[in-house]
Amino acid sequence: MTTDARDLATDAHLIAKSDLVLENFSARGMKAIGIDYERLREINPRIIYCSMAGFGHRGPYKNYVAYGPMQESQAGIVNLTGWPDGQPSRVGTSYPDAAGGVSAAFRLLARFVTPGVQVRDSGSIWGRLSHQSRLPIPP
């Protein structure tokens, strides 16, 4: 999506035909290009909107961009890896990025089988924290 007027018309055409919009910007991202939730609903009242803003749409960190390695540290995942007497260590893959996608996929699937419109704000870091309990904890 872009702010070019011709491309915005194309975006509006696609949105009108779409079932859902999934995005992974900070809270200011969609508003900056002129297609926030309110605008999406004007174009298509049936649209399902899933935002994976790393820090949600409220609070002091809402405009921060979130990356998996940074969120590993903020969620405390790095304290579960590495050697017992050593420093915290990153997970082998960018675990928070995948966990956020899986969490969004489950939320969208649940929305398709649940009637009514729901707007919830839960930053993707909370999805990472919910997965933290499933990680193996070293002795």
Active site residues: 97
User: Is 103 in contact with 130 (CB distance < 8 Å)?
Assistant: yes
Specify whether the CB–CB gap between 64 and 55 falls below 8 A.
Answer: yes
Angle of CA points 70, 71, 77, to nearest 5°: 110
d(C-alpha 4, C-alpha 2), whole Å: 6
The rounded distance, in Å, linking the Cα atoms of 76 and 74 is 5
Q: Would you say 88 and 58 are in contact if contact means Cβ atoms under 8 Å apart?
A: no
